[in-house]
Structure 1
Amino acid sequence: MPPAKRKRVTRKTVRKKKPKPLPIQWKVAIAGLLLILLSPLYYGYVLKDFVATWRWVKDWGQDPNYRTYESFNIKIPKAYTVHGIDVSYYQGKINWQKVKEMKEDEVNIRFAFIKATEGILQVDPYFQRNWREAPKAGIICGAYHFFRPKKEGKTQAKFFLQVVNIEKGDLPPVVDIESLDGVSPLKMRAELADFLNFVEMKTKVRPIIYTGLKFYEDYLADHFDEYPLWIAHYHQPKLRMDKSRWKFWQHSDKAKISGIGHVVDFNAFNGDSTALAGMLVH
């Protein structure tokens, strides 16, 4: 059979559509952007801003008033001349003589706050040893109570004073308040006031309030203004609070101290040695 004849297919030519030209507004905008990016003036501003930022970071990191002390392994603000630590069972058995002897440049340990009690039942297992041995090494001491807002303030105060004998030459007693423990701020402040009033009545000494900067701002600001403050605010060159408002600043929780096998909180006193002596129990 003869081969089948194929019908000739006429192929249509597909013409590509030309892209629509950009609107004149777009052309002007792109041209303006290119002009800016290629301008030496633009790069001058960018470079200037970069250099300024770099210098700020560099200067802050090398601020001579907030430098690293190698032996303590932390940065310490140099604006203060009286330094101290605070300890609890967490630091274990402490060689207080080594603590006293440690020194780098003008920085050494002059005072220590020692945890005594918590709530209405807990006595720190190392309190009696620390309370006895630290003064022997020549370190000024103060005792603190970790406050639990769910428990009665007056009961906590009685418990604290059963454990701690405040004597002449000690720092004022401290109440450590860090959380609401599920109660309202109003309830917390009421129980805290009962604690403070009872301790002051029995010891004739006005207690110190310890707390974190955020907790103070949220719940204690404009309350208890007559009490000395000890504020925790870590790893900063300055404490973000009016200097007239606070007495102690816990500025690090990572210090390494001779005679102590664990990192320690490090504190600065807002004043000189004469001012510290003026705070002691008479």
Structure 2
Amino acid sequence: MRGLYVLIVIALITLYPVYVSDGQRWTYIDSFGIKLPLRYNIHGIDVSHHNEQIDWHKVKHSIEDKVEISFCFIKATEGEDLKDADFEKNWKESRKTGLIRGAYHFYVPRANPVEQAQNFIESVVLEEGDFVPVLDFEIQGTNKRVRANLLENIKTFINIIENHYGVKPIIYTNGHIYKQYIKGNLDKYPLWISNYDSQKLEGYDDARLMIWQHSTDGKVDGIRGNVDFNVFVASKSHLDDICIK
């Protein structure tokens, strides 16, 4: 009996990770070259000029086992004056395919938040059905003075964007930045979390958690090289909550 007990314990320890991950239904999708959490039905990508020329028609029609690309986020701006070289083309062409599109700004901690917000506003006109604006907040800088003022500057950026577009922007971030700056300070904003190491997301406000960037190694017809993959993790009824009406 002792031997049987030991075998049962070993089996439980071995199978526990499988049991935990199986709740997400991680399944390898050959045409995308990665596993996707098929517990969720709405999958998407995010791109910038680094992805070079994109054939959006092929992207839209990349389907396998009823899994398809439904949305995309496109880099628009960075810092005070950088505008993504391919944004305008990607923005227009993705719209033609019927994909839900979104635009994001890469926040530079040392740069002026007012000028950063203006850079985005000058570059992005949102239409009905588009995602609300996205703040890409994933670095905090190395300067102590910059870090000391970072949260207030982020709030300044968000307030300008919110006042201009009339909607609460999505905050894209990682676990470290979330714990240090977002949690307890910016809890009312929708969340887009990047996490490539976990089988499921834990420790976030489920009421605000909308999108999970789970891989940077995906493949999609119409795009050269690797592509970031995301999945909408909230209930489908919340999709409209983060789109322009």
TM-score under structure 1 length normalisation: 0.79
Residue 182 (structure 1) aligned to one of 137, 142, 159: 142
Residue 214 (structure 1) aligned to one of 162, 171, 176: 176
The corresponding residue for 1:224 is 186
Q: Secondary structure, in 3 states, of the residue corresponding to 1:179? A: coil
The corresponding residue for 2:160 is 198
Equivalenced residue count is 242
The corresponding residue for 1:163 is 123
Q: Secondary structure, in 3 states, of the residue corresponding to 1:172? A: coil
For residues 214 and 122 of structure 1, do their structure 2 counterparts lie closer, same or farther at Cα, with a shift above 3 Å needed?
A: same
Which whole-Å CA distance do the structure 1 matches of 2:150 and 2:41 have between them? 35
Residue 87 (structure 2) aligned to one of 127, 133, 156: 127
For residues 149 and 104 of structure 1, do their structure 2 counterparts lie closer, same or farther at Cα, with a shift above 3 Å needed?
A: same
**Percent of aligned positions that are identical:** 38
Does residue 72 (structure 1) correspond to residue 32 (structure 2)? The answer is yes
Residue 264 (structure 1) aligned to one of 221, 227, 237: 227
The corresponding residue for 2:200 is 238
Q: For 1:59-116, what per-residue CA distance to the aligned partner results, in whole angstroms no more than 9, with x for missing partners?
A: 5676671222222111211221111111011111111111111112232111111001
The corresponding residue for 1:20 is none
The corresponding residue for 1:4 is none
C-alpha contact 2:76 2:124 (8 A) present in aligned 1: yes
Does residue 255 (structure 1) correspond to residue 218 (structure 2)? The answer is yes
Q: Secondary structure, in 3 states, of the residue corresponding to 1:52? A: helix
C-alpha contact 1:81 1:271 (8 A) present in aligned 2: no
- Report the alpha carbon displacement of residue 176 of structure 1 after superposing the two structures with TM: 0.4
Moved more, 172-181 or 218-227: 218-227
For residues 152 and 264 of structure 1, do their structure 2 counterparts lie closer, same or farther at Cα, with a shift above 3 Å needed?
A: same
- Report the alpha carbon displacement of residue 216 of structure 1 after superposing the two structures with TM: 0.7
Q: For 1:173-228, what per-residue CA distance to the aligned partner results, in whole angstroms no more than 9, with x for missing partners?
A: 11101111124444111111111001111111211111012221123211111111
C-alpha contact 2:21 2:200 (8 A) present in aligned 1: no
The corresponding residue for 2:239 is 276
C-alpha contact 1:99 1:258 (8 A) present in aligned 2: yes
Which whole-Å CA distance do the structure 2 matches of 1:51 and 1:281 have between them? 49
User: Structure 2 matches for 1:81-92, cutoff 5 A?
Assistant: 81-92=41-52
Unaligned runs of 5+ in 2: none
Residue 65 (structure 2) aligned to one of 85, 95, 105: 105
Structure with greater proportional strand content: 2
For residues 68 and 235 of structure 1, do their structure 2 counterparts lie closer, same or farther at Cα, with a shift above 3 Å needed?
A: farther
